[in-house]
């Protein structure tokens, strides 16, 4: 064999034959894998070395890397498994009963004011008017409260067959714009299309389909006392989530103390009657992007039938709740729903420590707790049966 023309190392993957000898250039031949340990002299006085154990990849000699950490594993037996099933079942039953009875104490009253054609409803004419594009129609609902509703009483509006969870709808917003960033006003996100700019190319604020479809029906409540209807104060403070109103939503920085100037260079959404800075002209802390009703609407619902908090009754003579009696609800009917076969309701509800009325959660806990206890009894019967059989086999 003639002399090798290379100087240095030769590396290969696989088996390392570990042939040791002299390369004519005095180089080194190295391979990784299994070293066969064949030794000899190469003509050039070089050496061949095999890396058998791959010492460079060996984990550190620690308890963690060598899996020597102390461990404990419970031994499942009838004495440990059965008490777990019974304890879990009793805990779920207790929690389920508490949730169920708490939900049962909540009082609710629902009033449908959709006004579908042919229903003979007082709001039918307004429903037809809103379907034709007219706004500002008013209708009234007179109703009886069968029992006292202890305060605070929450007033919700409910929409049905309304899919706020549709992907194109739910992403049609610009959170950067809603947080008051100036660049969001001048250059809204592309997700807002086709409500990103108007036909003239002027940016829309707030942009997107969610903001453009803002719920804009309004309600006024009156209580009949001594033959006269007296207004019931409705409080709109704190109806949105704290994280939304204090962190996620903020108005742009005022220009010379003017919010209108801050919105200059933008235009209103197509379906809005006025600009965002005019949502509540009587309260500068409740207008623009920090308007409570706007923030509540912008938190999209997960299901097609949903309710959103509109107002609370907790002031004046009604701070302790709504007394039993006759009431009148005046509605400014602006929001059309008949075009997509939707319905609208107003809901009066009390609250408890667990929130609003929701029997589902209590029922789930009751079912799960019953299943755990039933499984425990079945396992106990099987354990007793096989224990007796084992004793008979031993005898």
> Could you tell me which residue, 41 or 83, shows the higher pLDDT?
83
In a domain, 388, yes or no: no
In a domain, 153, yes or no: yes
pLDDT of residue 395: 60
- Over residues 210-260, the pLDDT tens digits come to 999 999 999 999 999 999 999 999 999 999 999 999 999 999 999 998 999
pLDDT of residue 55: 60
Would you place residue 306 in the very low, low, confident or very high pLDDT band (cuts 50, 70, 90)? Answer: very high
Compute the distance between CA of residue 228 and CA of residue 223 in angstroms, rounded to an integer: 8
Q: Are 247 and 327 in contact (CB under 8 A)?
A: no
Residues 174 and 45 in one domain: no
CA 314 from centroid of its chain's CA atoms: 28
- Over residues 23-73, the pLDDT tens digits come to 444 444 444 444 444 444 444 444 444 445 556 788 888 988 888 888 888
Residues 277 and 340 in one domain: yes
Compute the distance between CA of residue 93 and CA of residue 373 in angstroms, rounded to an integer: 10
Compute the distance between CA of residue 314 and CA of residue 154 in angstroms, rounded to an integer: 9
pLDDT of residue 77: 82
pLDDT of residue 25: 43
The residue segments making up the domain with residue 23 are 8-52
| The pair of three-digit structure tokens given for residue 348, joined into one six-digit string | 């009066």
> Could you tell me which residue, 207 or 23, shows the higher pLDDT?
207
- Over residues 123-181, the pLDDT tens digits come to 988 988 887 777 789 999 999 999 999 989 999 999 999 999 999 999 999 999 999 99
Across the chain, what does the average pLDDT equal? 85
> Could you tell me which residue, 94 or 71, shows the higher pLDDT?
94
Residues 201 and 323 in one domain: yes
Residues 198 and 241 in one domain: yes
Matching residue, tokens 């084992």: 390
What value does the mean pLDDT take over residues 367-373? 96
Residues 12 and 101 in one domain: no
Residues 114 and 48 in one domain: no
- Over residues 309-331, the pLDDT tens digits come to 999 998 888 989 999 999 999 99
pLDDT of residue 263: 96
In a domain, 13, yes or no: yes
pLDDT of residue 24: 43
Q: What residues contact 2, with CB distance under 8 A and at least 6 apart?
A: none
Nearest to 149 by CA among 373, 389, 320: 320
Q: What residues contact 17, with CB distance under 8 A and at least 6 apart?
A: 31, 35, 36, 38, 48, 50
Q: Above 90 in pLDDT, residue 3?
A: no
pLDDT of residue 72: 85
**Distance set, CA 55 to CA 17, 33, 136, 153, 257 (Å):** 17, 11, 82, 73, 71
What value does the mean pLDDT take over residues 95-114? 94
pTM over 0.85: no
Residues 128 and 155 in one domain: yes
Residues 145 and 198 in one domain: yes
In a domain, 72, yes or no: no
> Could you tell me which residue, 76 or 281, shows the higher pLDDT?
281
Residues 39 and 86 in one domain: no
- Over residues 252-295, the pLDDT tens digits come to 999 998 999 999 999 999 999 999 999 998 898 999 999 999 99
pLDDT of residue 394: 62
Cα atoms found within 13 Å of the Cα of residue 42, Cβ hemisphere only? 22
Residues 131 and 276 in one domain: yes
Residues 140 and 267 in one domain: yes
Compute the Cα dihedral for 247, 250, 254, 258 and give only its sign.
negative
In a domain, 389, yes or no: no
In a domain, 192, yes or no: yes
pLDDT of residue 132: 76
In a domain, 238, yes or no: yes
pLDDT of residue 7: 42
Would you place residue 393 in the very low, low, confident or very high pLDDT band (cuts 50, 70, 90)? Answer: low
What's the number of domains the chain is made of? Answer: 3
Residues 47 and 152 in one domain: no
Nearest to 160 by CA among 350, 362, 335, 357: 335
């Amino acid at each position: 064999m003639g002399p090798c023309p290379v100087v240095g190392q030769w590396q290969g993957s696989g088996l390392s034959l570990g042939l040791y000898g002299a390369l004519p250039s005095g180089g080194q031949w190295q391979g990784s894998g299994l070293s066969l340990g064949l030794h000899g002299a190469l003509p050039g006085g070089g050496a061949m070395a095999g890396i058998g154990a791959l010492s460079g990849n060996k984990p550190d000699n620690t308890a963690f890397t060598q899996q020597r950490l102390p461990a404990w594993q419970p031994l499942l037996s009838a004495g440990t498994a059965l008490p777990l099933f019974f304890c879990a079942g009793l805990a779920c039953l207790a929690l389920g009963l508490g949730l169920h009875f708490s939900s049962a104490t909540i009082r609710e009253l629902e009033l449908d004011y959709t006004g579908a054609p042919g229903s003979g409803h007082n709001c039918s004419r307004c429903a037809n008017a809103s379907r034709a594009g007219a706004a500002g129609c008013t209708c009234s609902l007179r109703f009886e409260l069968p029992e006292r509703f202890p305060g605070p009483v929450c007033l919700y509006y409910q929409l049905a067959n309304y899919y706020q969870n549709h992907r194109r709808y739910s992403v049609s917003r610009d959170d950067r714009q809603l947080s008051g960033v100036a660049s969001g006003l001048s250059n809204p996100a592309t997700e807002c299309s086709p409500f990103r700019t108007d036909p003239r190319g002027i940016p829309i604020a707030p942009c997107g389909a969610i903001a453009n479809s803002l719920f804009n029906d309004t309600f006024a409540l009156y209580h009949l006392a001594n033959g006269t209807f007296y207004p019931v104060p409705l409080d709109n403070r704190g109806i949105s989530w704290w994280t939304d109103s204090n962190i996620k939503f903020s108005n742009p920085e005022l220009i010379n103390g003017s919010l209108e100037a801050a919105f200059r260079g933008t235009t209103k959404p197509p379906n809005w009657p006025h600009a965002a800075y005019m949502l509540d002209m009587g309260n500068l802390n409740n207008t623009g992007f920090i308007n409570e009703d706007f923030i509540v609407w912008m938190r999209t619902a997960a299901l097609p039938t949903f309710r959103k908090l509109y107002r609370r009754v907790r002031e004046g003579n009604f701070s302790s709740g709504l007394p039993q009696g006759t009431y009148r609800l005046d509605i400014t009917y602006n929001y059309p729903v008949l075009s997509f076969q939707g319905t609208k309701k107003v809901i009066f509800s009390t609250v408890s420590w667990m929130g609003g009325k929701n029997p589902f959660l209590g029922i789930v806990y009751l079912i799960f707790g019953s299943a755990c206890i039933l499984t425990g009894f079945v396992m106990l019967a099987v354990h007793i049966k096989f224990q007796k059989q084992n004793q008979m086999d031993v005898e």
